[in-house]
Amino acid sequence: MASKNTKKPASKSASKAASKPAAKPASKAAAAPKPAVPPAPKPGSTPQLLRGMRDTLPSEQKYWHFVRRRIENLTRAYGYERIDTPLLEETGLFVRSAGKYSDLVEKEMFTFLDKGGDNVSLRPEGSPGVVRAYINHGMFTLPQPIKLYYVGSMFRYERPQAGRYREHHQFGIEVFGDGNPAMDAEVVLLAYLFYKELGIKTLVNINSLGCQQCRQNYLTELMAYYKPKRSHICEDCKRRYAKNPLRLLDCKEPDCTAVRDGAPHIVDFLDDECKNHLMRVLESLDEMGVPYVLNPHLVRGLDYYTRTVFELTPADDQSQTPQALGGGGRYDNLVEQFGGRPTPACGFGLGLERAILQMKTQETEPPDEFRPDIFVAQLGDNARRKAFQMFEDLRSAGIMVTATFSKNALKSQLETANRLGARYTAIIGQKEVLDGTVLIRDMESGMQEIVDFNKAAHEIRKKLGKG
RNA sequence: GUGGCCAUGGUGCAACGGUUAGCACAGCGGGUUGUGGUCCCGCUGAUAUGGGUUCGAUUCCCAUUGGCCACCCCA
């Protein structure tokens, strides 16, 4: 390229300082050394992808189509209706639902003040918005249960790595107005089936956190257990002890897990109703043939769960801390906590990037749905006119057809046809225009035959086995 | 948020403190006039950004940005 800046005597800091915007007394975010409006980038420099963000290129789309199709089929079969809620909500929505001391709220949210000074956040998970919508739109007046699903972007301000991005996509379901344990099981079943349909074997970890009463009893006991052992646990756990003791069970530090292994199990503190609920969920899972493991240490990172919680991990992942493919549970108090009438509810969220990652590691490739049946090639202006006509004839006959009308050389058109994987190419040149015919070339064998122009669509359908 | 590894054309790799940064694949154009997927030839195209060390850096150092890995946690 052109001469790079071999010598740049003294102009370095000067240009930058000059373009600094007249320092508005901009609103005081915690610590924001960056100017509200950054200086314009150098002309010609290439804009960069923000950390943890990704483009989904055409070559990737077949995976996404495939996954979305499965979601649609599954949710339709089980009677779920789609809901879409905003990406941006008031920060308080998430703080109130996930819990002030959850990691999600403490360090993973994209939070900022908008121009009106409102504190808003990009949604880090799907449930709170759906719960809000349920209440806002009076869905409790409709016949219950309300079964909803969503597919969309979630944002978390984290250090990215494979299968972890700052923007990721989740498929989630939420069911309102049904407290039956069979409903918990249905939710787990759907998560399990989703992955099964994608050819991914999963392991379901399940636990119960009980209702508020049993949890309170348990927490008292748990803290009593940890109190004399506080010197043996990590700094994070000391903080958890004070603010969010349930998460003590979650720690992966060797010292902490050693302490944890002697800790009381919450299942032993469930009251009869909660215990019965759990048993009936497990029974239903048995009936439905969903393999699961009862994991007394599973607590999940959100405060709103009651009773059932579960998480899915890849079945063949031997690592100590496999990446979760999804999780969820019951949250019978959240609607009321948001000012709605008491409403039992449960749901899950599943990570689509991780699902696709699993598909790739297992080398399950979805079919390319856009492979054309036939490519229409044309030579010359008269032929192009006929080719347009042929294209539409074929298309309305339900044949996957494609063409590049801007190219003229037959060679390049055949090349394109080949690259697209077309089974046949219809060739229309001057000769064919005069004869009222079209040349059909089998791209596999190279065999060609002359077909009457008006019968072409019919012939091709026959060749394709479409009748 | 913590620790570590890394950064060369669209992709995958190579090389060196010093004249034209090499290869493969892809892309584009050819191998004459209406025939692709094989073959042959040619062309385009890169040292992430900003500083520093040096006579000279793409190579060494620092920062920034981004990626990956292990944590934390989660999808």
Q: What is the 3-state secondary structure (H, E, C) of chain A?
A: CCCCCCCCCCCHHHHHHHCCCCCCCCCCCCCCCCCCCCCCCCCCCCCCCCCCCCCCCHHHHHHHHHHHHHHHHHHHHCCCEECCCCCEEEHHHHHHHHCCCCHHHHHCCEEEECCCCCEEEECCCCHHHHHHHHHHCCHHHCCCCEEEEEEEEEECCCCCECCECCEEEEEEEEEECCCCHHHHHHHHHHHHHHHHHCCCCEEEEEEECCCHHHHHHHHHHHHHHHHHHHHHCCHHHHHHHHHCHHHHHHCCCHHHHHHHHCCCCHHHHCCHHHHHHHHHHHHHHHHHCCCEEECCCCCCCCCCCEEEEEEEEECCCCCCCCCCCEEEEECCCHHHHCCCCCCCEEEEEEEHHHHHHHHHHCCCCCCCCCCCCEEEEECCHHHHHHHHHHHHHHHHCCCCEECCCCCCCHHHHHHHHHHHCCCEEEEECHHHHHHCEEEEEECCCCCEEEEEHHHHHHHHHHHCCCC
Average pLDDT, chain A: 86
In this structure, of A212-221, A246-255, A267-276, A351-360, the range with the lowest mean pLDDT score is: A246-255
In this structure, of A123-137, A273-287, A305-319, the range with the lowest mean pLDDT score is: A305-319
* Domain identity same for A333 and A184: yes
The domain boundary, picked from A361, A390, A407, lies at A361
Query: What's the confidence (pLDDT) of residue A412?
Result: 87
* Domain identity same for A349 and A288: yes
Question: Has residue A20 got a pLDDT over 70?
Answer: no
* Domain identity same for A297 and A335: yes
Which residues from the 115-144 window of protein chain A have CB within 7 angstroms of nucleic acid chain B?
Answer: 125
In chain A, the number of structural domains is: 2
Query: What's the confidence (pLDDT) of residue A1?
Result: 33
- Sorted by sequence, the CB contacts under 8 Å of residue A185 that are 6+ apart come out as A281, A284, A285, A288, A290
Query: What's the confidence (pLDDT) of residue A40?
Result: 66
The domain boundary, picked from A361, A389, A416, lies at A361
Instruction: Determine contact, residues A178/A143, Cβ cutoff 8 Å.
Output: no
Question: Has residue A453 got a pLDDT over 50?
Answer: yes
Q: Is residue A175 one of the residues assigned to a domain?
A: yes
Q: Which residue type does A302 have?
A: L
Q: Is residue A153 one of the residues assigned to a domain?
A: yes
A172 touches strand B (CB under 7 A): no
Instruction: Determine contact, residues A371/A420, Cβ cutoff 8 Å.
Output: yes
Q: Is residue A248 one of the residues assigned to a domain?
A: no
* Domain identity same for A84 and A183: yes
* Domain identity same for A385 and A308: no
Q: Is residue A172 one of the residues assigned to a domain?
A: yes
Specify which of A72-86, A100-114, A226-240, A366-380 reaches the highest per-range mean pLDDT: A72-86
A443 touches strand B (CB under 7 A): yes
- Per-residue pLDDT tens over the stretch A254-269: 777 788 888 888 989 9
* Domain identity same for A316 and A412: no
Q: Is residue A451 one of the residues assigned to a domain?
A: yes
How distant is C1' of B35 from CA of A402, in Å?
A: 18
Quote the CA–CA distance of A193 and A186 in Å, as a whole number: 10
pLDDT tier at A38 (50, 70, 90 boundaries)? low
In this structure, of A128-132, A226-230, A255-259, A267-271, the range with the lowest mean pLDDT score is: A255-259
Question: Has residue A381 got a pLDDT over 80?
Answer: yes
How many CA atoms does the CB half-sphere of A66 hold within 13 Å? 21
* Domain identity same for A433 and A320: no
Instruction: Determine contact, residues A87/A122, Cβ cutoff 8 Å.
Output: yes
A303: nearest Cα among A271, A326, A337, A274: A337
* Domain identity same for A392 and A436: yes
Question: Has residue A192 got a pLDDT over 70?
Answer: yes
Query: What's the confidence (pLDDT) of residue A41?
Result: 64
Query: What's the confidence (pLDDT) of residue A247?
Result: 84
Instruction: Determine contact, residues A311/A300, Cβ cutoff 8 Å.
Output: yes
Query: What's the confidence (pLDDT) of residue A30?
Result: 37
Query: What's the confidence (pLDDT) of residue A49?
Result: 86
Instruction: Determine contact, residues A374/A425, Cβ cutoff 8 Å.
Output: yes
* Domain identity same for A282 and A346: yes
**Interval A148-168 mean pLDDT:** 94
A181 touches strand B (CB under 7 A): no
* Domain identity same for A286 and A399: no
How distant is C1' of B49 from CA of A10, in Å?
A: 18
* Domain identity same for A321 and A429: no
A361 touches strand B (CB under 7 A): no
A167: nearest Cα among A178, A182, A157: A157
* CATH code: domain of residue A315: 3.30.930.10
Query: What's the confidence (pLDDT) of residue A21?
Result: 37
Q: Is residue A154 one of the residues assigned to a domain?
A: yes
Buried b (16+ CB within 10 A) or exposed e, A129-141: bbbbbbbeeebbe
Question: Has residue A138 got a pLDDT over 50?
Answer: yes
A152 touches strand B (CB under 7 A): no
Q: Which nucleotide C1' is nearest A156 CA? A: B74
A48 touches strand B (CB under 7 A): yes
The domain boundary, picked from A361, A385, A412, lies at A361
Q: Is residue A245 one of the residues assigned to a domain?
A: no
pLDDT tier at A35 (50, 70, 90 boundaries)? low
Residue A342 belongs to domain spanning: 58-211+271-361
Can you tell me which residue has its alpha carbon closest to the C1' of nucleotide B74? A324
* Domain identity same for A103 and A137: yes
pLDDT tier at A17 (50, 70, 90 boundaries)? very low
Buried b (16+ CB within 10 A) or exposed e, A409-442: eeeebbebbeebebbbbbbbbeebbeeebbbbbe
**Interval A416-432 mean pLDDT:** 91
Query: What's the confidence (pLDDT) of residue A351?
Result: 96
Q: Is residue A453 one of the residues assigned to a domain?
A: yes
* CATH code: domain of residue A393: 3.40.50.800
Query: What's the confidence (pLDDT) of residue A8?
Result: 33
pTM across the whole model: 0.86
Quote the CA–CA distance of A78 and A338 in Å, as a whole number: 27
